[in-house]
Amino acid sequence: MTTIHDTAVRGFASDNYSGIHPEVLAAITAANEGHQISYGEDVYTERLQEVFTAHFGEGVEAFPVFNGTGANVVGLQSMLPRWGAVIAASSAHINVDEGGAPERVAGIKLLTVPTEDGKLTPELIDREAWGWGDEHRAQPLVVSITQSTELGTLYTPEEIRAIADHIHPLGMRLHLDGARIANAAAALDLPVRAFTRDVGVDVVSFGGTKNGAMLGEAIVVLDPAASTGLTYLRKLNMQLASKMRFVSAQLVALLEGDLWLRNARHANAMAQRLRAGVEAGLADGSIAGVEFTQPTQANGVFAILPEGVADQLRAKFRFYDWDAARREVRWMCSFDTTEDDVDAFVAELSRLTV
């Protein structure tokens, strides 16, 4: 098949828009020769367990799945009885962007809390952490946080530790949606275990797709006491890959060396360049009327644009409205965003606002 899309088109809508990193694509090709046992009994999935052990420590177990929604739904389902509920930020992906899958597929009640920056705190959690023993209320038994958050902000290890220390004595477990966990590790400049296992996270949805994979995430169980039945739930929820070696090989390619960090650092740096370019334009008058709404801590930039500018800008660069009512937009950078992409975007924004 010949290429049928315009390869010159660039955008800032999502880090899912980028292609596959060449090293990941090479790993898929390398895994393609000969036969391997299906459904996870292959050498690449075995190697992936070793890789995750190197990152998180002994005693962890990884379950490759197809996508982030699958990782979240199946991971959370394994942490809860049928009567369990999950406390999450109202902006959380599991609440806003998964089509109701946690509730419709897994049968999990979500108890959501509004936040200004996408981050939960013990005090915010307490708004919904009540009613244990009340047969009329879904029992709050898990807290789910996102790192980095849907608003591009970061939890420090100390903030996550405060949440874990607050909820564990209440009999609750801590889940971390890590669709962009690599971007968080790069921005914090910390080993991934420093803001997960070492500070009380029990189960992680570990993202690969947004970091250069074709597809593939993993549910990583950090505390075996926090999760049961994943072997069965993964199949039950249609997340068990028959040719799992091709999912595992991608994650091995990312995580065995530093590719995952290189990709994330680059994406974060491009977001910083984008923000700095707009800030410089605001300072010298070449850009007008743009207001940032969140700190740029990972690979996302959130801003409010003047009336009508977003649609004009989208004629050249695709991106999403975040809150259309107040003209707030989200610009995402990926592993293959270039300096030229960013500079062209800033130049077009300048042309449209002045």
State pLDDT tens for residues 180-220: 999 999 999 999 999 999 999 999 999 999 999 999 999 99
Q: How far apart are CA 148 and CA 340, in angstroms?
A: 25
Q: In the predicted model, is pLDDT for residue 302 greater than 90?
A: yes
User: Looking at residue 255, what is its pLDDT?
Assistant: 98
Q: Which residue has the tokens 């996508």?
A: 67
Q: What is the mean pLDDT of residues 55-77?
A: 98
The pLDDT assigned to 8 comes to 87
pLDDT of residue 146: 98
Q: Which band of pLDDT confidence, cut at 50, 70 and 90, is reported for residue 296?
A: very high
Domain definitions of the chain by residue range: 22-257, 260-353
pLDDT at 108: 96
**Is 4 in contact with 212 (CB distance < 8 Å)?**
no
What pLDDT is stored for residue 96 in this prediction? 97
- Is domain 22-257 given the CATH code 3.40.640.10 in the classification? yes
Q: Are the CB atoms for 122 and 163 separated by under 8 Å?
A: yes
185-189 long-range contacts, Cβ below 8 Å, gap at least 24? 185/260, 185/261, 185/264, 186/261, 186/264, 186/265, 186/268, 186/298, 187/148, 187/154, 187/264, 187/268, 187/297, 187/298, 188/154, 188/156, 188/157
What is the pLDDT, as a whole number, of residue 104? Answer: 95
- Per residue in 236-249, pLDDT (tens digit) is 999 999 999 999 99
Tell me the pLDDT band of 344, cut-offs 50, 70 and 90: very high
What is the chain's mean pLDDT, rounded?
A: 97
CATH topology classification for 260-353 = Aspartate Aminotransferase, domain 1 (3.90.1150)
